[in-house]
């Protein structure tokens, strides 16, 4: 597996778990994924940030995309240079992970085209209350549930830009990805919906093994304040 991990000094200003700083998220990630699989893309960072990142035993590549979409275009280009059989995990710094994340992610990719470890809370909120547009007033997603060695899973309609897939899948879906990562902000929701409409599958474990670090959007059933 190849992990393309993105970090920037220009992240959107959002409320975060107090301990989920960029340093906290990176060091959490390094507990669960081997450093030799990780390439860290430092996009539009200060000299101070770049020097800090070089204190880790990681391959660090400094880039100047300057936006979330541009940063993803850079790592997508790199992913598409790899062999079709390679698995790529795209990760943004604003995420925490749990033990066994790597193993569970690989299990999911044996069953579906795309995998996210983030059980997004918007799938349990009616659209009328700010949830996912496909969630009705019963606050439930229409899905299928399956089992792997380590986890229950559900098919889900969309996720964020932290996800995994085989390079072969990305290559076949490249036109769809290019369409939705133009400009400054990637249209992750629209992209995954179009992928689904074209027969692709996306799964997430239940409960999740990763979360975005905004408390209001944290994956349910986990006390993320205690995860470091």
pLDDT in tens, 36-70: 999 999 999 999 999 999 999 999 999 988 899 99
Using a pLDDT cut of 90, give the percent of the chain over it: 93
* Residues 199, 215: Cα–Cα separation, whole Å: 33
What tens digit of pLDDT does each residue of 147-182 get? 999 999 999 999 999 999 999 999 999 999 999 999
Q: Is 42 exposed, middle or buried (0-12, 13-18, 19+ CB in 10 A)?
A: buried
Contact 22, 30 (CB under 8 A): no
Q: The domain that contains 215 carries what CATH number?
A: 3.90.550.10
207 in a domain, yes or no? yes
Q: pLDDT: is 119 or 66 the higher one?
A: 119
pLDDT at 66: 81
183 in a domain, yes or no? yes
Using alpha carbons, select from 118, 74, 105, 95 the residue that is nearest to residue 214.
Answer: 95
113 in a domain, yes or no? yes
Q: What is the pTM of this model?
A: 0.96
227 in a domain, yes or no? no
pLDDT at 12: 61
Domain extent for 134: 2-219
166 in a domain, yes or no? yes
226 in a domain, yes or no? no
179 in a domain, yes or no? yes
136 in a domain, yes or no? yes
The total number of structural domains that make up the chain:
1
């Amino acid at each position: 597996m190849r992990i393309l991990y993105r970090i920037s000094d220009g992240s959107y200003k959002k409320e975060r778990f107090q301990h989920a700083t960029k340093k906290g998220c990176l060091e959490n990630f390094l507990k669960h994924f081997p450093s030799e699989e990780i390439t860290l893309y430092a996009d539009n960072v200060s000299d101070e940030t770049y020097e800090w990142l070089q204190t880790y035993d990681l391959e660090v590549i400094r880039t100047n995309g300057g936006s979330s979409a541009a940063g993803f275009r850079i790592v997508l280009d790199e992913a598409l240079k790899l062999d079709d059989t390679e698995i790529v995990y795209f990760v943004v710094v604003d995420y925490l992970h749990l033990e066994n994340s790597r193993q569970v992610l690989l299990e999911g990719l044996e069953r579906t085209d795309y995998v996210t470890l983030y059980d997004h809370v918007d799938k349990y909120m009616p659209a009328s209350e700010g949830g996912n547009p496909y969630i009705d007033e019963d606050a439930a997603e229409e899905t299928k549930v399956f089992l792997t060695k380590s986890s229950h899973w559900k098919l889900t309609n969309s996720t964020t830009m932290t996800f995994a897939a085989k390079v072969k899948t990305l290559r076949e879906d490249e036109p769809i990805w290019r369409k939705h990562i133009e400009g400054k902000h990637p249209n992750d929701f629209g992209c995954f919906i179009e992928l689904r409409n074209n027969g692709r599958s996306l799964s997430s474990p239940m409960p999740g093994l990763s979360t975005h670090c905004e408390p209001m959007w944290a994956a349910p059933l986990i006390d993320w304040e205690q995860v470091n």
